[in-house]
Amino acid sequence: MTVSTASSSASARTYEVRTYGCQMNVHDSERLSGLLEDAGYLKASEGEQADVVVFNTCAVRENADNKLYGNLSHLAPIKEANPDLQIAVGGCLAQKDRATITEKAPYVDVVFGTHNIGSLPVLLERARVQEEAQVEILESLEVFPSTLPTRRESAYAAWVSVSVGCNNTCTFCIVPSLRGKEKDRRPGEILAEIEALVAEGVTEVTLLGQNVNAYGVEFGDRQAFSKLLRACGEIEGLERVRFTSPHPAEFTDDVIEAMAETPNVMPSLHMPLQSGSDRVLKAMRRSYRSTKFLGIIERVRAAIPHAAITTDIIVGFPGETEEDFQATLDVVRESRFASAFTFQYSKRPGTPAADLPDQISPEVVKDRYGRLVDLVNEIAFEENKKNVGRTLELMVAEGEGRKDAETHRLSGRAPDNRLVHFSSAGAEGVRPGDMVKVEITRAAPHYLIADNPVLEVRRTRSGDAWEARQGRTEPETRSVGLGMPAVGVPAPLPAAPACG
């Protein structure tokens, strides 16, 4: 679907999209930006007050509503001084709090949900013409997001959705009720999008899904995800493939084999643990136990020795005892995570866990959280030190080294997704998206350092694409008509290549 230009009055208007939450929201924001640019809006310059401000919200993170209304209140006096300013609120919090947003913030012009991001330009125009707030929340997906125009932030790396929604019922999570049941795209549609991205200069894609390795459940192929990974290995010019986030309950050996045997599938895996206590996992409705989780880690490491495994962990779930917490620490010690996203549990209205008895006191949660973070950082540091002396090929990154200017370094990502800050010596003219080889000289808990001169530079099509972007006055948008998920069994994926 391509949205037509709203009106000539919108052609000179500027926009800003503010994103909160997960990778799915980041990807949705690329679609929102593409829609607005396709409708004639221009991205506001840094420091410029945009004519349209869009909040793409999250309902999972702590105090999400307080953060939203706090940010909205900062715009209230600007809106009062300039009635032409339009404010839109979308995403998961909009889907959940549809009835209250315009009550709490009556100056908001548009409220839209997770299932109808494609309606944003029309809703903005309708609100402008009718001079009243427009609230449109759909209960199910009408247009798969990948059919919408996109404004990608990166010239060299891209998100590619394989599915939306989730069929799990974790008691701490509200995502299924906000994004709906899982809907899978056809394999051919996904591969067509990846091939189109590669033709534009992209050399790294991340396959994205709320439960990415459950891909295929809708059309009855339990090995669809591993077949998709292998098919990505057949796409010429695609150098790096990643995916996030899988679920341990559905993580099968055929996926491990596909990762190990497909050269462009990177040796990195994000595997959410949430808790190491079987009792807590049961209360969370996580349909696996610690033994199964550790078995997956063991098999991945056996097949891919240099794999970097990361995770998510929640501390202080209702009823968690000190013994339960110690079980989590035990799994962390055994798993040797390269890093972990750690969270202090807090009630999320609308989730079953919010009504569970034995809520843990904030003081206990904070103490356990501190001990967990200390252990995670200690292990991450030890794992990072194992890379000292290794030669790694990095994809040069843009904006990932906040201190690069003062340290005279550049930054890039290793195949296992570790962040590496490397010397600019020998890297003259290198561009984001180019590849460099470096020798790791030092390690820190959250990154690696390569202080010797760069060993090798490989200029890439991605670097060319990044360089071409710098000369554009208007960022590129792209519309790929890939359609809604079809009914019935899809065409089979290409035959898997021989083991590499």
- Establish whether 92 is an annotated binding residue: yes
* List of residues 6+ apart from 173 with CB closer than 8 A: 60, 166, 348, 351
Burial of 46 (0-12, 13-18, 19+ CB in 10 A): exposed
Residue at 392: amino acid letter = L
Q: What is the DSSP letter of 208?
A: E
CB 335 within 8 A of CB 298: no
Integer angstrom CA distances of residue 168 from 247, 342, 426 = 10, 21, 50
Which residue, 417, 416, 412, is CA-closest to 454? 412
Phi, psi for residue 179 in degrees, rounded to 5: -110, -5
* List of residues 6+ apart from 426 with CB closer than 8 A: 453, 454, 455, 457
Both structure tokens of 345: 């549990």
318/376 Cα distance (integer angstroms): 22
- Establish whether 58 is an annotated binding residue: yes
Output the CA angle 108-111-117, nearest 5 degrees.
Answer: 135
Query: Which DSSP string corresponds to 284-308?
Result: TT-S--HHHHHHHHHHHHHH-TT-E
CB 445 within 8 A of CB 387: no
44/155 Cα distance (integer angstroms): 19
CB 108 within 8 A of CB 73: no
Q: What H or E segment, with its residue span, contains residue 327? A: helix 322-335
- Establish whether 166 is an annotated binding residue: yes
Q: What is the DSSP letter of 206?
A: E
37/85 Cα distance (integer angstroms): 17
Q: What H or E segment, with its residue span, contains residue 73? A: helix 64-81
19-38 exposure pattern, b = at least 16 Cβ within 10 A, e = fewer:
bbbbebbebbbbbbbbbbbb
- Helix ranges restricted to H, 184-247: 187-199, 224-232
Q: Which residues sit in the known binding site for [4Fe-4S] cluster? A: 22, 58, 92, 166, 170, 173
Q: Which residues sit in the known binding site? A: 22, 58, 92, 166, 170, 173
